[in-house]
Chain A
Amino acid sequence: MNSHTIELGHGGGGVQMNRLIQEVFFAAFGNELLQREEDAAILPLPSGAQSTMAFTTDSFTVTPLIFNGGDIGKLAIAGTVNDLAMMGAKPQYLSCSFIIEEGLPLATLKAVAQSMAKELAISGAHIVCGDTKVVPRGCADQLFINTTGIGLVQKPGLSASNVADGDAIIVSRDVGCHGATILMNREGLELGSALASDCATLWPVVEALIAADLDIHALRDATRGGLAAVVNEWAQASAVAIELNEAAIPVCDEVRGLCELYGMEPFQLANEGTFILALPAAQAEQALTIMRQFSPSTNAAIIGRASHSEQQAGTVVLQTPWGSQRYLEVPPGELLPRIC
Chain B
Amino acid sequence: MPEPKQLDIKQLYDGFRDPATVRQLARTIAHEAQQLLQPLNIMEVCGGHTHTLMKFGLKELLPENIHFIHGPGCPVCVMPKERIDHAITLAAQPDTILVTLGDMIRVPGSAGTLAQSRANGSDVRPLYDPLDALTIARQNPTKTVVFFAIGFETSTPMTAVLLQQAEAQGIDNLLFHINHVLVPPAVDAVMADPRVRVNAFVAPSHVSVIQGADIYQPLVDKYATPVVVAGFEPVDMMEAVLRLVRQKNAGAAHVDIQYSRAVNREGNLTAQKLVADCFTVRDTFRWRGLGPIARSALQLKPHYQHRDAEIHFRAILPEHELDDHKACQCGAILRGLAQPADCRVFARGCTPERPLGSCMVSSEGACNAYYRYQSPQRAAG
Instruction: Give A residues with C-beta under 8 Å from B.
Output: 1-9, 14-16, 19, 187, 189, 192, 247, 253, 256-258, 260-263, 311-312, 315, 317, 320-327, 329, 332-334, 336-340
**Also in contact, A326 and B55, with CB within 8 A (given A189-B128, A257-B9):** yes
Given A19, A253, A256, A317, which contacts B376 in the complex, CB threshold below 8 Å?
A: A317
The answer to whether A321 touches B19, judged by C-beta atoms less than 8 angstroms apart, is: yes
Min CB gap B346→A, angstroms: 15
List of B residues within 8 angstroms of A324 by Cβ: 56-58, 60-61, 375
List of B residues within 8 angstroms of A189 by Cβ: 128
The answer to whether A15 touches B353, judged by C-beta atoms less than 8 angstroms apart, is: yes
Interface residue? B72 (CB, 8 A): no
The answer to whether B60 touches A327, judged by C-beta atoms less than 8 angstroms apart, is: no
List of B residues within 8 angstroms of A339 by Cβ: 75-76, 101-104, 150-151, 155, 362, 364
Chain B contacts with A in 98-139, Cβ cutoff 8 A? 101-106, 108, 112-113, 115-116, 118-120, 126, 128-129
Return the chain B residue nearest A16 by Cβ.
B353
The answer to whether A337 touches B373, judged by C-beta atoms less than 8 angstroms apart, is: no
Interface residue? B197 (CB, 8 A): no
Chain B contacts with A in 322-381, Cβ cutoff 8 A? 351-356, 362-364, 371-377, 379-380
Which residue among A15, A334, A336 has the maximum number of chain B CB atoms within 10 Å of its CB? A336
List of B residues within 8 angstroms of A14 by Cβ: 353
The answer to whether B10 touches A256, judged by C-beta atoms less than 8 angstroms apart, is: yes
The answer to whether A5 touches B119, judged by C-beta atoms less than 8 angstroms apart, is: yes
Given B56, B355, B379, which contacts A320 in the complex, CB threshold below 8 Å?
A: B56
**Also in contact, A340 and B8, with CB within 8 A (given A320-B56, A324-B57, A327-B376):** no
The answer to whether A340 touches B376, judged by C-beta atoms less than 8 angstroms apart, is: no
Which residue among A7, A192, A311, A324 has the maximum number of chain B CB atoms within 10 Å of its CB? A324
List of B residues within 8 angstroms of A1 by Cβ: 108, 112-113, 354-356
Which residue among A14, A311, A323 has the maximum number of chain B CB atoms within 10 Å of its CB? A323
The answer to whether A338 touches B8, judged by C-beta atoms less than 8 angstroms apart, is: no
Min CB gap A39→B, angstroms: 24
The answer to whether A315 touches B376, judged by C-beta atoms less than 8 angstroms apart, is: yes
Return the chain A residue nearest B155 by Cβ.
A340
Min CB gap B265→A, angstroms: 21
Min CB gap A64→B, angstroms: 15
Please measure, in the bound complex, the distance between the C-alpha atom of A189 and the C-alpha atom of B55, giving whole angstroms: 26
List of B residues within 8 angstroms of A257 by Cβ: 8-10
Given B119, B129, B151, B154, which contacts A7 in the complex, CB threshold below 8 Å?
A: B119
Number of A-B contacts (CB under 8 A): 138
List of B residues within 8 angstroms of A253 by Cβ: 8-10
How many residues does chain B have at the interface if contact means C-beta atoms less than 8 Å apart? 64
Min CB gap B229→A, angstroms: 15
Please measure, in the bound complex, the distance between the C-alpha atom of A258 and the C-alpha atom of B12, giving whole angstroms: 12
Interface residue? B147 (CB, 8 A): no
List of A residues within 8 angstroms of B152 by Cβ: 340
Min CB gap A251→B, angstroms: 11
- CB-defined A-B contacts under 8 Å, sample of 5: A1-B112, A258-B9, A329-B372, A329-B373, A340-B151
Interface mask (B5-32 → A, CB under 8 Å = 1, otherwise 0): 0101110110001010011001000000
Interface mask (B48-65 → A, CB under 8 Å = 1, otherwise 0): 100100111110110000
The answer to whether A338 touches B102, judged by C-beta atoms less than 8 angstroms apart, is: yes
The answer to whether B372 touches A8, judged by C-beta atoms less than 8 angstroms apart, is: no
Min CB gap B356→A, angstroms: 8
List of A residues within 8 angstroms of B83 by Cβ: none
List of A residues within 8 angstroms of B118 by Cβ: 7-8
List of A residues within 8 angstroms of B60 by Cβ: 324-325
The answer to whether B374 touches A332, judged by C-beta atoms less than 8 angstroms apart, is: no
Interface residue? B206 (CB, 8 A): yes
Please measure, in the bound complex, the distance between the C-alpha atom of A333 and the C-alpha atom of B353, giving whole angstroms: 7
The answer to whether A321 touches B17, judged by C-beta atoms less than 8 angstroms apart, is: yes
The answer to whether B19 touches A322, judged by C-beta atoms less than 8 angstroms apart, is: yes
The answer to whether A332 touches B352, judged by C-beta atoms less than 8 angstroms apart, is: yes
Interface residue? B226 (CB, 8 A): no
Please measure, in the bound complex, the distance between the C-alpha atom of A8 and the C-alpha atom of B106, giving whole angstroms: 11
**Also in contact, A338 and B364, with CB within 8 A (given A1-B108, A257-B9, A332-B352):** yes
List of A residues within 8 angstroms of B17 by Cβ: 321
List of A residues within 8 angstroms of B80 by Cβ: none
Given A260, A311, A320, A340, which contacts B12 in the complex, CB threshold below 8 Å?
A: A260
Please measure, in the bound complex, the distance between the C-alpha atom of A28 and the C-alpha atom of B150, giving whole angstroms: 42
Interface residue? B234 (CB, 8 A): yes
**Also in contact, A262 and B374, with CB within 8 A (given A5-B116, A339-B101, A339-B102):** no
Taking A260-B13, A337-B126 as known contacts, 14 extra A-B pairs with beta carbons closer than 8 A to each other, sorted by chain A number, are: A7-B119, A187-B128, A253-B10, A256-B10, A322-B56, A323-B23, A324-B60, A326-B373, A326-B374, A327-B376, A329-B373, A338-B362, A339-B75, A339-B103
Given B51, B113, B151, B234, which contacts A322 in the complex, CB threshold below 8 Å?
A: B234
Min CB gap A254→B, angstroms: 8
List of A residues within 8 angstroms of B119 by Cβ: 3, 5-8
The answer to whether A9 touches B115, judged by C-beta atoms less than 8 angstroms apart, is: yes
List of B residues within 8 angstroms of A334 by Cβ: 106, 115
List of B residues within 8 angstroms of A262 by Cβ: 128
Please measure, in the bound complex, the distance between the C-alpha atom of A5 and the C-alpha atom of B151, giving whole angstroms: 29
List of A residues within 8 angstroms of B352 by Cβ: 332
List of A residues within 8 angstroms of B102 by Cβ: 336-339
The answer to whether A326 touches B57, judged by C-beta atoms less than 8 angstroms apart, is: yes
List of A residues within 8 angstroms of B55 by Cβ: 326
List of B residues within 8 angstroms of A340 by Cβ: 48, 75, 151-152, 154-155, 206, 364
Return the chain A residue nearest B62 by Cβ.
A324
Please measure, in the bound complex, the distance between the C-alpha atom of A114 and the C-alpha atom of B10, giving whole angstroms: 38
Please measure, in the bound complex, the distance between the C-alpha atom of A9 and the C-alpha atom of B152, giving whole angstroms: 27
List of B residues within 8 angstroms of A320 by Cβ: 56-57
Return the chain A residue nearest B57 by Cβ.
A324
**Also in contact, A327 and B101, with CB within 8 A (given A5-B119, A253-B10, A261-B9):** no
Given A263, A321, A325, A333, which contacts B363 in the complex, CB threshold below 8 Å?
A: A263
List of A residues within 8 angstroms of B376 by Cβ: 312, 315, 317, 325-327
The answer to whether A327 touches B380, judged by C-beta atoms less than 8 angstroms apart, is: no
Min CB gap B184→A, angstroms: 16
Please measure, in the bound complex, the distance between the C-alpha atom of A1 and the C-alpha atom of B152, giving whole angstroms: 28
The answer to whether A322 touches B23, judged by C-beta atoms less than 8 angstroms apart, is: yes
4 cross-chain pairs, A with B, having the tightest CB-CB distances, nearest first? A324-B57, A257-B9, A321-B19, A5-B119
Return the chain B residue nearest A192 by Cβ.
B6
